[in-house]
A and B are shown apart, each in its own frame.
Chain A
Amino acid sequence: MVILGIECTAHTLGIGIVNSEGKVLADSKAVYTPKEGGIHPREAAENHQKAAITVLQAAINEANITLDQLRGVAFSQGPGLPPALRVGAVIARSLAKSLNIPLLGINHCVAHIEQARFFCQAKIPLVIYLSGGNTQITTLAAHRYRIFGETLDIALGNMLDMFARAANLAHPGGPKVEQLAKQAENGYHPLPYTVKGMDLAFSGLLTAAKQLLKKGTALEDVCYSLQETAFSMIAEVTERALAHTQREEIILTGGVAANSRLKEMLQIVANEQSAHFASVPVKYAGDNGAMIAYNGLLLLNSGNKTSLNESGIQSKWRLDQVDIHWES
């Protein structure tokens, strides 16, 4: 049995294929990069539309299958940018209808988490989900991902991207900030540290970091201070959530999971609390079609599918509103 998954929530149009064991047979993508500034939803959607056939063909070739072998088509139903979501949904509906196979509407956040859980071979871990759109500390209890901590304003990845743009670094900013931080020479400049219970806020930190830049502080030093502050906040709430939930595993997922300094900090937290830490492979840290395909497999195996009537996009679909049928 092979399942195809379409990720189309923001920058990335990803089409992935997995087999019945969850093994990734194909993971193809086209990434829209804005010429300047942040993502433009309509331009992103146009881009995805144009790239769709090429990406689909590449995925089919990579998996070395024919379309009639597919047993389900999964797509990112939300949350995300409506124009992008619609493109993915249209591709999925057309494929499902023409091949007469089940359509599987998937929550993007759940897909990131389930893929990480699969690769990390974790049972019921505390999940740290950090990306451009999301910053959540969550764990599974009674069929739902319960959110213990979350950003009160902007996501961690979004903050790093916005800082990078202010510093004239090309998109995506996270990896460049990480690289520059390693070259810092003069050490740490104090920045605002905002933790409220297990919730976090990053906008004050962003403003202060931009001000440091304006004052002429070396970019490398600002990157270093920014990372150290933001990641310490994440590590602190992780430790608090771990103590609170008594989980024994921590997994990290989302685009920011590619950052090695962050992983280093979370590893220390895990050691302190005698927990096991694992991170999603860097290759799958960002948005990808394989995660949607894998979640589609879980949904189908638990006896569920999405009817055409229910297949409308859900641009504000929250993680904690999804029933996790495949787990107790």
Chain B
Amino acid sequence: MSKLVAKGAEASLYLEDYYGHPVIRKHRRPKPYRLPQIDAKLRTDRTIREARLLASARHAGVATPIVYQIDVENATIIMEYIEGQRVKELIPELTKTKRQSLFKEIGKAVALLHQHEVTHGDLTTSNMIQSSPKVIYFIDFGLAGITQNIEDFGTDLHLLRRALLSTHYPHWEDCYSAFKEGYRTTFGKRTTDVFRKVDAIESRGRYITERIR
């Protein structure tokens, strides 16, 4: 049994059976637009990175799929199948209160990652799956990293803020303020440094006037 369940920009996801367990086989497809040298390096690096950091995130206490098997040569990872709903589709369906409690949980989870020196690198609502009201799985760690640098934590928050602004513009302020609240309760004292870094990153961009913070 192998069923293509999603074809993302970077990878194809197949739902398969693995010794009696439903699993996802994630294959990073070769990209014909880029040179084979660039392509091979990116696909290999990201496959290894994703497998490693899915595990690191789990150690940090953040829900991620368990990695069962990795095939570097074919840029393929076999991992646990997570049942639930993507946060992207969930947001418009929720009440304001529910949305805010969801984003508070997301804030806590991202803070946990950062406390354990893990950055996600692509924090969009497509990469979060709610499996039960309090449990949010994080997926897609291909751009993740290990770091102690506040700048990298700030970048994670900036990316989430951008994703909310562009995709969830009617609700972005509710979501982002709840996220910040959750983040602060877990990350503690250095939170202010991270938030200040987000402002610094955004002010470096082109043509910034009075952007809403």
Contacts and interface: CB of A to CB of B under 8 A. Distances in A.
Interface of A: 78-79, 133-135, 141-142, 144, 146-148, 150-153, 155, 188, 190, 193, 195-199, 228-229, 232, 235-236, 239-240, 242-244, 264-266, 268-269, 272-273, 314-321
Interface residues of B, number: 36
Residue from B41, B126, B206 having most chain A Cβ neighbours under 10 A: B206
Contacts of A153: 204
Nearest to A318: B207
Contact of B122 (A79, A148, A197, A228): A197
Contact of A197 (B35, B37, B162, B206): B162
A235 B34 contact: yes
A314 B209 CA distance: 9
Contact of A146 (B37, B165, B206): B165
B90 interface: no
Interface string B172-213: 000000000000000000000000000001001111110100
Given A229-B38, A316-B207, 15 more contacts: A78-B207, A79-B206, A144-B169, A146-B165, A150-B205, A152-B155, A193-B42, A196-B143, A196-B159, A199-B159, A228-B35, A235-B31, A265-B33, A317-B209, A321-B209
A148 B166 contact: yes
Nearest to A189: B37
Contacts of A193: 38, 42
30 contacts: A78-B207, A135-B206, A146-B165, A146-B169, A147-B162, A148-B166, A151-B205, A152-B155, A153-B204, A155-B206, A196-B121, A196-B122, A197-B123, A197-B163, A199-B158, A199-B159, A228-B35, A229-B38, A232-B31, A235-B33, A235-B34, A236-B9, A236-B10, A239-B31, A244-B167, A265-B33, A272-B31, A272-B33, A314-B209, A316-B208
B9 A239 contact: yes
A316 B121 contact: no
B47 interface: no
A8 B133 CA distance: 54
Contact of B209 (A135, A199, A264, A318): A318
A157 B145 CA distance: 29
Contacts of A190: 37, 41
Contacts of A197: 121-124, 143, 159, 162-163
A302 B154 CA distance: 40
B124 A146 contact: no
A198 B159 CA distance: 8
Contact of B9 (A146, A155, A196, A243): A243
Interface string B61-86: 00000000000000000000000000
Nearest to B166: A146
- Which 7 pairs of residues, A with B, have the shortest CB-CB distance? A243-B9, A268-B33, A232-B34, A197-B159, A146-B166, A239-B9, A240-B9
Contacts of B209: 314, 316-318, 321
A150 B123 contact: no
Contacts of A236: 9-10, 31, 34
Given A268-B33, A316-B207, A321-B209, A240 B166 contact: no
Residue of A264, A315, A318 most packed against chain B (CB within 10 A): A318
Contacts of A152: 155, 201, 204-205
Nearest to A196: B155
What does DSSP make chain B's interface, helix, strand, loop or mixed? loop
Contacts, number: 110
Interface in B1-38: 8-10, 31-35, 37-38
Nearest to A273: B9
A317 B167 CA distance: 21
A232 B37 CA distance: 12
A317 B34 CA distance: 34
B120 to A, nearest CB: 9
A272 B166 CA distance: 24
Contacts of A317: 207, 209
Contacts of A134: 206
Contacts of B205: 150-152
A201 B99 CA distance: 32
B122 A268 contact: no
Interface in B100-147: 121-124, 126, 143
A91 B170 CA distance: 39
A196 B205 CA distance: 14
Contacts of A268: 32-33
A151 B206 contact: yes
A78 B31 CA distance: 38
B166 A195 contact: no
Nearest to B122: A197
Contact of A232 (B35, B126, B208): B35
B117 to A, nearest CB: 17
Contacts of B158: 199
